[in-house]
């Protein structure tokens, strides 16, 4: 009898696939069920290495399918839910906000309501249960790029956890900050966070919310900055930098996020919020230059040979200026720390995409969408 049955939603996506792999390997006594609709962002080839493990099951389902989710929770006797399924790309949300409201808001509500009905029907009710919602730092809005007197950013600063780092402004996203989302994506994530907290306050559901900064690493869909640009540099295609490339993002290696989720799922306090981030702010244009240098070096091209690929294009509407997350609470209370320096993580990431060109080619050609039919239709 497995110790726990955990439902992970969105496990075929970028962060979800790293989390599923970690949970399946780290907790062989748990049963891990990966529920994913397999939208364009879901790719089961991300999980090839663990798909035949005895403690893993994949279920193709839409989180908005309330009856289906309820039946699955009952039949699998699910004790814990880690909810990552979402529409996640800001540019798509600007073109098609309805899909974001449907999946991120209504889908989260459907999952919460199904969990409530199932858990409340049990003799032990919410005892030993947990609903963990994965959210984003974008719900806090945008921070200003500020210049403390006489010092041009980035400048050195110290967080309350004692971490020394470079910052592009004096403010940070903290757990108590108010929500001021700007894009349809972040508005939909903010709304889902509110629903999760409302289910704790109204029904007593044991919930946790975490808000993480930008993730990077293997298996990220090549519409996001880092994998898109690695692929374009390799093929010598233009690199569309929005605006002047001055926007700042705070980057965390995806496996460090997955480790934080595992830790918080087990040790986090019910009804709490934890920010997750590595105190690692970078201007977009500096990342783009570093990517060009790294790809060119690894491919044996001349130094700075591909700098001319940089192409400044019209800015993203409502483009948030700066994200910078303060993860001191998580570091101090649960002892989590990022394991990689950014330069090291980025080099590892670039190497992975260059060595796994077939993964990228399958995604860009659309072939990856056949993987489910090939692997699962005869089972
Ligand atoms: P992703 O787009 O790579 O993956 C999303 C997954 O959800 C896909 O497998 C997709 O098929 C699935 N999905 C989408 N709609 C669904 C539905 N209706 N029903 C079931 N499954 C559905 O996303 P990601 O970048 O891995 O992000 C995962 C989560 O983490 C999201 O909730 C996102 O908001 C959050 N997050 C992401 C980042 C980041 O930098 N990528 C940072 C902080 C938080
Ligand atoms: O902060 C966490 C968020 O990070 C997550 O919640 C989102 O799911 C995730 O997509 C990410 O959002 P961003 O919008 O910051 O990521 P993206 O990779 O789309 O863009 C990073 C920065 O690069 C941003 O300032 C926009 C810029 N950009 C992006 C693309 C795709 C470009 O200049 N050109 C591009 O082509």
Token output for 154: 């980035």
CA angle 197, 202, 204 (to 5 degrees): 80
**Which ligand 2 atom is nearest residue 226's CA?**
18
Give tens-digit pLDDT for 150-201.
888 999 999 988 889 999 999 999 999 999 999 999 999 999 999 999 999 9
- How many helices (H) and strands (E) the chain has is answered by 13, 14
**Which ligand 2 atom is nearest residue 189's CA?**
6
CA angle 68, 212, 263 (to 5 degrees): 75
**pLDDT for the residue numbered 1:** 47
Token output for 27: 């907790």
Residue 196: how many CB atoms within 10 A of its CB? 23
Active site annotation includes 312: no
Compute the 3-state secondary structure of the chain and give helix, strand, coil in percent, each to the nearest 5: 45, 20, 35
Active site annotation includes 79: no
Q: Say whether 373 sits in a helix, a strand or coil.
A: helix
Give tens-digit pLDDT for 63-120.
999 999 999 999 999 999 999 999 999 999 999 999 999 999 999 999 999 999 999 9
The share of the chain scoring above pLDDT 70, in percent, equals: 98
Residue 247 clears pLDDT 80, i.e. is over it: yes
Least confident among 118-132, 155-169, 292-306: 155-169
Q: What are the C-alpha distances in Å from 275 to residues 185, 238, 281, 293, 331?
A: 18, 35, 15, 32, 10
Q: Say whether 124 sits in a helix, a strand or coil.
A: coil
| Catalytic residue from among 138, 193, 255, 320 | 138
Active site annotation includes 242: no
H/E stretch holding 274: strand 273-276
Q: Could you give the strand order of the β-sheet that contains 4-9, starting from the edge strand earlier in sequence?
A: 56-60, 30-36, 4-9, 80-83, 130-136, 207-212, 273-276
Stretch 326-339: mean pLDDT, rounded?
97
Q: Which residues have CB under 6 Å of ligand 2?
A: 88-90, 136-138, 213-214, 224-225, 228, 240-242, 247, 249, 284, 316, 323
Q: Say whether 136 sits in a helix, a strand or coil.
A: strand
Stretch 241-257: mean pLDDT, rounded?
98
99 within ligand 1 shell (Cβ under 6 A): no
| Catalytic residue from among 36, 87, 137, 256 | 137
Q: Say whether 275 sits in a helix, a strand or coil.
A: strand
Output the CA 85–ligand 1 centroid distance in Å. Answer: 5
Across the chain, mean pLDDT equals: 96
Whole-angstrom distance, CA of residue 356 vs CA of residue 209: 33
Residue of 246, 223, 240, 248 whose CA lies nearest to 312: 240
**pLDDT for the residue numbered 237:** 97
Whole-angstrom distance, CA of residue 139 vs CA of residue 174: 11
**pLDDT for the residue numbered 378:** 59
């Amino acid at each position: 009898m497995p110790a726990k049955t955990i439902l992970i939603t969105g496990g075929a996506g970028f962060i979800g696939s790293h989390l599923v792999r970690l949970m399946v390997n780290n907790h062989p006594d748990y049963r891990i069920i990966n529920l994913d609709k397999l939208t364009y962002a879901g790719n089961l080839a991300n999980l090839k290495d663990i798909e035949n493990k005895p403690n893993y099951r994949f279920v193709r389902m839409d989180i908005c399918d309330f009856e289906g989710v309820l039946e699955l929770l009952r039949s699998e006797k699910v004790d814990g839910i880690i909810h990552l399924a979402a529409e996640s790309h800001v540019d798509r949300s600007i073109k098609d906000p309805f899909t974001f409201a449907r999946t991120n808001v209504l889908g989260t509500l459907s999952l919460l309501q199904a969990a409530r009905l199932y858990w409340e029907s049990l003799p032990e009710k919410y005892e030993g249960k947990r609903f963990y919602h994965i959210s984003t730092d974008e719900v806090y809005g945008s921070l200003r790029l500020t210049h403390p007197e006489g010092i041009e950013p980035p400048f050195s600063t110290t967080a309350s956890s004692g971490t020394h780092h470079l910052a592009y402004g004096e403010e940070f996203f903290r757990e108590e900050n108010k929500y001021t989302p700007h894009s349809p994506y972040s508005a939909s994530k903010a709304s889902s966070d509110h629903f999760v907290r409302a289910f704790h306050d109204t029904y007593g559901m044991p919930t946790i919310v975490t808000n993480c900064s930008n993730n990077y690493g293997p298996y990220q869909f090549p519409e996001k900055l880092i994998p898109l640009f690695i692929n374009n540099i390799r093929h010598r295609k233009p690199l569309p930098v929005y605006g002047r490339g001055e926007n700042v993002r705070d980057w965390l290696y995806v496996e460090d996020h997955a480790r934080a989720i595992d830790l918080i799922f087990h040790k986090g306090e019910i009804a709490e919020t934890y920010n997750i981030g590595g105190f690692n702010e970078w201007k977009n244009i500096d990342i783009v230059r570093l990517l060009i240098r790294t790809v060119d070096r690894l491919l044996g091209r001349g130094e700075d040979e591909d700098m001319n690929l940089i192409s400044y294009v019209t800015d993203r509407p409502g483009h948030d200026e700066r994200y910078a997350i303060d993860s001191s609470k998580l570091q101090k209370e649960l002892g989590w720390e990022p394991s990689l320096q950014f330069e090291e993580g980025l080099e590892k990431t670039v190497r992975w995409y260059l060595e796994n060109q077939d993964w990228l080619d399958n995604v860009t050609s659309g072939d990856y969408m056949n993987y489910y039919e090939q692997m699962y239709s005869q089972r």
